[in-house]
Chain A
């Protein structure tokens, strides 16, 4: 009964001050709407950028690093380490091959936390363009696993990636590289290996990674072609790229593999530490801006309620004289703040959803991201929940101080002051 009466009085106050109430509610609407839009857009962007890295980067990369021998022959002879001082030790001429790669692949594929392994053979070579040569790298890949684990297909903008497997001695060229070689699909190009052997390869596709420096030098060939180029047998792999089900486990697994198989490993977290920092900072900025907007909206409400209370001194006095307690009176003003908050907040959800959808539909095409056609937006309902909760909390706080003031107004002073 009494709460109904308080709501009734609050509603009447708001309705008779329609313009002020609307402005206060719009302040909240604007704050919440922008909060949701910003959050959806920024996290969408973050996910896209994270995705770029996560899609293309192996969670754990196994490779063989050039390293100097642990013990030098002279030390073995003296049998006393440290007695011989040798400076500038060069690494041994070891192949960059991963030892026992086949066995390692089989062992790792049996693990339940490994989603898949894509082996690679990296070949340093020279692309021959007339009398010019371009330094570059060809990646020997297993097209199936690359497509399954690293969305290789997304980056092949022309041609069919699967032809790499089907056509002998075929190659997929980086977009810039293809331009330099003026090679189009179906054209043959010539490459020279480090040993000076010249091969002819058929262009079956063009890929675009988004990074011009890579597109200028890199190409993809089938793993067998790469092994042929190097003149090695079929268990020669330079990289094993692992994808896990849970990327958080990458550092642990990388560590394990390193100890178990005596190879070098790099996990995603180590390779991309700076990336996470970027994500965190972007999130921080988003939160700071949203919070500021809500704060401004909160001050708007505070201001309007404060003014309302000065205007309503007589009403407050009369309510108190006729038996309303201080609590009742403060509840009237808090209710008003909450009504403004809920209505403004709900409208804000609508505005946020509308703006997010608009951004989602806005075209966004860039060479760097061949698969993206519109701006990325993350329509997470959590932001809508957060928005409405925040609007209620903010308006409650904005209403609290004026309501507290109203609560302690002495009716005698008002009535006698006339």
Chain B
């Protein structure tokens, strides 16, 4: 049981099909586990199904077979509203194209998921949001409009937003894919720290071998099947 409670995210035998334009088996027999505080990357060639897998794990894509557990709770089959609540509360997202709400201030962007959760007062949420921005070293941007900050800064704002509701896991689809190497390094370092210091689980899809090499573990996908749960990318490199 103690081993069980240590696990944030777990899947059993997930299958997924695309039906358009032709039937296509995208994910095959996916069974995996992510532990508390683990920093995991998912790699694979383009078309291997790694992003598709991430969106299934994120609860946004519900059209799959198999079972998905989050904190040992079966989330497969829950209603859309329940899933929205889970995403709000337990999962943080960072995307490749830093998806902020461009008309709102940086601070507001960070606050919105917490305002949606509605568990704290507005005042407390604002304090939390400022603290998160502080951790990511962008406190000075708080009152700027989201559309007015640079790419690397946007990604850090997105991370701050992902953290605002103290989720159990942060997921990312190529979070550094759109950044130059300096910013990319910076963002990676922040994630690394969050994982090791705050015990936050991280699950990142990437095609960047360097990025993957510095994570705790890399899940390698090929043709929709996990061919390696713990690939040592660095060693394979030629």
Could you list which residues of chain A lie within 8 angstroms of chain B, going by C-beta atoms? 1-2, 4-5, 9, 12-13, 16, 314-315, 317-328, 411-412, 415-416, 418
* B112 interfacial contact with A, CB 8 Å: yes
Residues of A within 8 A of B87 (CB): 321-323
B-side interface size class: 20 to 34
Q: How far is the CB of B220 from chain A (nearest CB, A)?
A: 21
**B60 & A5 in contact (Cβ 8 Å cutoff):** no
Question: Within B110-143, which residues are at the interface with A (CB < 8 Å)?
Answer: 112-113, 115-118
Residues of A within 8 A of B89 (CB): 323
**A315 & B101 in contact (Cβ 8 Å cutoff):** yes
Residues of B within 8 A of A416 (CB): 51, 55
**B99 & A2 in contact (Cβ 8 Å cutoff):** no
Q: How far is the CB of B83 from chain A (nearest CB, A)?
A: 9
* B188 interfacial contact with A, CB 8 Å: no
Closest 6 CB pairs of A and B: A323-B88, A1-B118, A325-B84, A16-B103, A322-B113, A5-B115
**B60 & A326 in contact (Cβ 8 Å cutoff):** no
* B5 interfacial contact with A, CB 8 Å: no
**A5 & B112 in contact (Cβ 8 Å cutoff):** yes
Interface-side segment among B30-38, B68-76, B90-98: B90-98
* B81 interfacial contact with A, CB 8 Å: yes
With A321-B93, A322-B116, A325-B81: A412-B61 Cβ-Cβ less than 8 Å: yes
Q: How far is the CA of A324 from the CA of B84 in the complex (A)?
A: 6
**B58 & A13 in contact (Cβ 8 Å cutoff):** no
Pick from A4, A326, A418: contact of B97, CB below 8 A. A418
Q: How far is the CA of A2 from the CA of B114 in the complex (A)?
A: 10
Q: How far is the CB of A28 from chain B (nearest CB, A)?
A: 23
With A5-B112, A13-B103, A411-B60: A322-B51 Cβ-Cβ less than 8 Å: no
Q: How far is the CA of A115 from the CA of B115 in the complex (A)?
A: 68
Pick from A12, A323, A418: contact of B113, CB below 8 A. A323
Q: How far is the CB of A317 from chain B (nearest CB, A)?
A: 7
* B153 interfacial contact with A, CB 8 Å: no
* B80 interfacial contact with A, CB 8 Å: yes
Residues of A within 8 A of B112 (CB): 5, 9, 319, 322
**A323 & B85 in contact (Cβ 8 Å cutoff):** yes
Pick from A1, A13, A321, A327: contact of B81, CB below 8 A. A327
Q: How far is the CB of B115 from chain A (nearest CB, A)?
A: 5
**A320 & B84 in contact (Cβ 8 Å cutoff):** yes
